[in-house]
Amino acid sequence: MILNPHGRKVKPEELIVDLAKDAVGLIAGTESITEEIIMKLPPLKVISRCGVGVDNVALDAAKRLEIKVFNTSDAPTVVVAKLTVGLILNLLIIVSRMDREIRNEHRQKRMGNLLCRKKIGIVEFGRIGRRVAELLIPFGCEIVYADPFV
């Protein structure tokens, strides 16, 4: 296993020449795995994309060379749901606004709001929407949702 030593998005030439030239498996982030890259990595048998999509992988080339391509479709679910709940709390308690005022020494006495017993509407009730609902239920929220597929 070779990790990205650069701390940034890997350039195609770094991937081919330095990092993955002998790899049979590739765990890709946001790097574009083009047909050119795939052709120059002959031992490659599998590409796994961290995240939902595989639009940054040349799927036709991978299929032609019998390289399996996977993604981690559920990976961002918990993170996005937690961020959503955090943003809801931020809006209700006006954390960002009060922080800005305190830092600028213009603090005004403000009253936030409570999340408990609020009615929360969720648009689309897939993996992320359901997880947001699960995180909000302990606050005593009433959950309503709109999703044509549920």
Any idea what the CATH number is for the domain that residue 28 is in?
3.40.50.720
Mean pLDDT of 107-131: 90
Which tens digits make up the pLDDT trace of 63-75? 999 999 999 888 8
Domain that holds residue 134: 77-146
- Return the amino acid letter for 99: D
According to DSSP, the residues that pair with 27 across neighbouring strands are: 48
Do the domain assignments include residue 1?
no
Q: Are 25 and 68 contacting, i.e. CB atoms less than 8 angstroms apart?
A: no
Q: Are 47 and 24 contacting, i.e. CB atoms less than 8 angstroms apart?
A: no
Whether residue 87 sits in one domain with residue 67: no
Do the domain assignments include residue 5?
no
Which tens digits make up the pLDDT trace of 33-44? 899 989 988 899
Do the domain assignments include residue 2?
no
- pLDDT score of 61: 95
Give me the number of domains the chain comprises. 2
pLDDT at 16 over 70: no
